[in-house]
Structure 1
Amino acid sequence: MASGRSITRGARFRWASGLLAFALLAGAAPVQAQSCDKPLYLTFDTGHMEVAPLVADVLRQHGVKATFFAAHEPTRSGDGSLGEHWSAWWKARAAEGHEFASHTWDHVYWRADLPGEPARFKVRASAGEEAGRDRTWTAAQYCDEIARAARRLQQVTGKPPLPLFRAPGGKTSPKFLAATRACGWEHVGWSPAGFLGDELSSESVSNRELLDRALRDVRSGDILMAHLGIWSRKDPWAPAVLGPLVAGLKQRGFCFRTLREHPRYTAWIAEREAKK
């Protein structure tokens, strides 16, 4: 040997490991940053949370990062979806690299615009002490409601949430969207084919039909939406549909990104985060 000494297999392994560690420290691009020609943006809204651990298992198994929109909703176990019982679950998702955004604290629906200025809206919460009651709110009150869930998300995840929100039911108006944007919150809905159907009745639409429909109709750039448990669906959508759906979409050449990487929101997120 030219060097006059042998290099053992163990030494070669340590050398290769050292190079890998150096590359990571030097900022080598992670797998998630690789090129993505057919991106999809998988999002979840909160629900009864019973399937949340199973959803997390599927995402981890397939290496998929999602964006979670959270409200403090009633749950089958624990003290609500943003309560202490579920705080460890949220923290674990943050450690895995998922993103988070507000779904309002009490899951407050926009119901109607009201005449006059400043902007006022008829709203109705589906959670909390005022659940089921119509109320009149100013834009500032609704923005405070968005911010309350965002603050709790940062508390339980240790990670600043995105300056985005999703109105319950996706119900909005141009006046409402202008008002919430003016106070720093950009609304995110979902694509027509991105409605994954977990809110629909099991008796009317089976899991198999929902899976086939999504695999057939989803297109590049779509924002997909499902929930962390729907009370009314007897045959749970997750993880029965979620696993085959993610695998099937990947086989079709799709890849998954969070809303932080969505071209419609990247500039808005960067601008808002720079102001903090």
Structure 2
Amino acid sequence: MDKNRSPRISGIAVTVGTTTTLLGLLLGLLVHGTGYAGTSTGLPQRDTATAPPAEPKKKRKPVATSISHGVQKPGPGSAGESAEKGEGKGAGRGEGKGAEKSRTPLALTLDDGPDPTWTPKVLDLLRQERVKATFCLIGPNAERNPDLVKRIVAEGHRLCDHSMHHDTGMDQKPVSYQSKEILDAKRMIDKASGGAPLRYYRAPGGAFTPESRKIAAKNGMRPLGWTADSDDWRLPGAETIVGTVRQQVADGARIILMHDGGGDRSETYAALETLIPQLKQDGYAFGFPEA
């Protein structure tokens, strides 16, 4: 072999001196255990510090206004027992032959009507399902649709004053304005219904004030809140509406807020077609808010 040629190892040309130097350096690294990023392996290591665990997804809570009430037992002779107290025995009239002896009462409330398109459809459905509800009426809507108001009363449902103009900021307005919103609507509803009992007042968007409660009480109306908000006005789809209400009811909500007026309520109607039978099957009955 030519003395001037370098030896080849696996096809790589190296000099003897260089090879010796490299071997020495490698031995030194192994002895001292020093490698990349301070590790003994000489390989990059993934940071083993764990990140804080993600917060669990919060359960959706029932939405409530500053006022919330119990629910009367359905059927005649109700004394206004509160569902929150675990009362409400008896399936009530119209729950079918297979109704259980003890059911948890719910109150279905429908806002912003009466509407000439959707209120009749909802009333037909309620009659078919033998369910009673509370209709929270806008004064001018009642004035324009007196026959619907009378039908609501004739079919055994209850009425609620929901103001004149659905002003969700009325709690920031003068007391004189609040009074006019409540009492002008009451006069229109009273005239449309022929003087039927008007048991409740629901502030638009839950905008109650101490003064508005006093005005309502002085005129024989109890402030009516809600504990299950369907969010149907957002038009999320019937399936979502059903799921939203059932979840809140399962969490303990007893007064359901939905809408039969104020716009296209096709999703609300479709949701009610599914929701009412499902809630009955889940062991609930329908009554009225305490009055």
Normalised to the residue count of structure 2, the TM-score between the two structures is 0.58
Partner residue, 1:78: none
Contact in 2 for aligned 1:165/1:186 (Cα 8 Å): yes
User: CA-to-partner distance for each residue in 1:161-205, whole Å, 9 max, x for gaps?
Assistant: 3342011111234x44554356344321100xx1112111x3xx3
Q: Unaligned 5+ residue runs, structure 2?
A: 1-91
Note if 1:83 corresponds to 2:153. no
Give the Å deviation of 1:144: 3.7
User: For the pair shown, which has the larger CA radius of gyration, 1 or 2?
Assistant: 2
**1:88-127 equivalences in 2 (<5 Å):** 88-113=147-172, 122=173
Alpha carbons of 1:251 and 1:72: their partners in 2 closer, same or farther (altered >3 Å)? same
Partner residue, 2:129: 62
User: CA-to-partner distance for each residue in 1:120-155, whole Å, 9 max, x for gaps?
Assistant: xx2xxxxxxxxxxxxxx335x423431222222222
Q: Of 183, 188, 205, which residue of structure 1 is paired with 2:218?
A: 183
Partner residue, 1:168: 204
Give the Å deviation of 1:221: 6.0
Contact in 1 for aligned 2:113/2:136 (Cα 8 Å): no
Q: Of 223, 236, 252, which residue of structure 1 is paired with 2:255?
A: 223
C-alpha distance in 2 between matches for 1:106 and 1:213: 27
**1:9-28 equivalences in 2 (<5 Å):** none
Question: What amino acid does structure 2 have at the position aligned with 1:64?
Answer: V
Identity %: 27
C-alpha distance in 1 between matches for 2:204 and 2:184: 15
C-alpha distance in 2 between matches for 1:249 and 1:238: 15
Q: Unaligned 5+ residue runs, structure 1?
A: 1-29, 74-80, 114-121, 123-136, 266-276
**CA RMSD, Structure 1 to Structure 2 (Å):** 2.8
Question: What amino acid does structure 2 have at the position aligned with 1:107?
Answer: H
Partner residue, 1:125: none
Normalised to the residue count of structure 1, the TM-score between the two structures is 0.61
C-alpha distance in 1 between matches for 2:102 and 2:194: 28
Question: What amino acid does structure 2 have at the position aligned with 1:238?
Answer: T
Partner residue, 2:183: 147
Contact in 2 for aligned 1:143/1:183 (Cα 8 Å): no
C-alpha distance in 1 between matches for 2:163 and 2:102: 31
Give the Å deviation of 1:57: 1.1
Partner residue, 2:238: 207
Question: What amino acid does structure 1 have at the position aligned with 2:175?
Answer: T
Question: What amino acid does structure 2 have at the position aligned with 1:44?
Answer: L
C-alpha distance in 2 between matches for 1:111 and 1:88: 29
Partner residue, 2:269: 239
